[in-house]
Amino acid sequence: MATTNTFDNTTPGALIDHETDALSEPQKSLPGAICWAVNGSGSPVVPTECMGQRSLQLDAAPMDKDTVLFLASSTKLVTAVAVMQCVERGLVNLDEPISNHLPEFKDYDVIDGWTEIDGGKEEPILRKAETTVTLRHLLNHTSGISASIFDPVYRKFNVWKGWPQRNPTSPETMTFPLRFDPGKKWMYGFGIDWVGILVTRLNKCTLGEYFQKNIFDPLQMKSTTFRPTRNPEIRERLASIIPRDEQGNLQPKPVEIWLKESEQVAMESGGYGLYSTASDYIRFLQTFLMGAENPLLKKETVEEMFKPQLESAQWMRENAVDPKGIAISGNIMFPDAAVNHGLGFIIKDEDSSTGCKRGAAEGGGLTNTYWWIDRSSGVAGLVFLNMLPYMDTAAVNLWIDYQTKVYKALATS
């Protein structure tokens, strides 16, 4: 595949401030969206809302529960479940050196800066890591692995290596040096992409094959896949990824780079590669509310996933190499709110003004696919769009409004 750059128009700008943003009329507009929340039995808490169309074409089909959307980083939750199944089966331990299973992590380097060499060129200053990477580190983003889509240091390393500015498409293009010694700081990155590779090697199959057998088939998730164009029935239900320009206008020409990658790139990314529907994903979210009846994981495994993995919310804030990553990782609605991290997702460390409780998990994908799981309130929900940029203010406000509506309904039921 040609080595093209794919980061243009995909990264968020300054952190959004939902309290003070004054949106123009174009900025208030949204393409299609699905809003859905269920209790532990799968019953809707409030009526499911489907709005808009699958694209901006005049003859576009309406957005509905079975529209196929690019999940982007909402894939990570599926990968976290998959690897915790492997933990349950004794294939890997959360705290053993991950190099036992991923030899790429043996004798890992940490990048401490850059030094000038002959001709004014620079090369990285590297040293050996003082601690070892574990699966727990990969799942809670304390491994030292960053993400070049958001990190100028990794972008500079891409230039030095002659790699394109894009998400990794193979283990070879993911072998960046660590940004810090594992366990010592926090930084959003490609750690869960490595977790996906781990699942494939432990089970000697592709990630899609593992997901299909162990997650999708048990839940009857029939429209979730890494390869949507290979199934004509799925392909015809695809929504376009709609970009918003700098003036706030939605643009009719969709962003298709990830769809092309799904056809051309061999690696199936556990960090961002899945396509799915609201119908499938809400069924998946519901399993976290089912306790001992969860068909995918043991109750004690889910408890471990939702256990705060970091010393405190203050530690996370003070030790985040790039604080914006905390919002990017899932603290999207209220970026200044106190959060911790579980095994694969952000955990709220305080109640939200929407009604969502401390201890709830939440996350999102680059194309504004948002989800949350509040086990104490017995509710899980999603607000799915397919648009850019990430953390679009109008999209996040839709999530805030819908989540508020859900908790008001719970309070009066």
Catalytic residue among 143, 146, 154, 188: 188
Q: Which of 55, 74, 76, 185 is catalytic?
A: 76
Q: Where are the alpha helices (DSSP H) in 93-250?
A: 135-140, 152-161, 191-203, 207-211, 217-219, 232-235
Helix %, strand %, coil % of the chain (to 5): 35, 15, 50
Of 132, 173, 185, the closest CA to residue 323 belongs to 185
Q: Are strands 242-243 and 387-388 parallel, antiparallel or unpaired?
A: parallel
3-state secondary structure of 265: coil
SS3 188: coil
Catalytic residue among 73, 74, 329, 377: 73
* Helices vs. strands in the chain: H and E counts, helices first: 14, 13
Question: Which among 400, 381, 402, 409 is positioned nearest to 37, based on CA atoms?
Answer: 381
Cβ 33 vs Cβ 2: under 8 Å? no
Q: Any catalytic annotation for residue 188? A: yes
Amino acid making up residue 155: R
**Of 217, 244, 251, 210, residue with least CA distance to 82:** 210
Residue 73 falls in the annotated catalytic set: yes
Residue 407 a catalytic site member: no
| Residues designated catalytic | 73, 76, 188
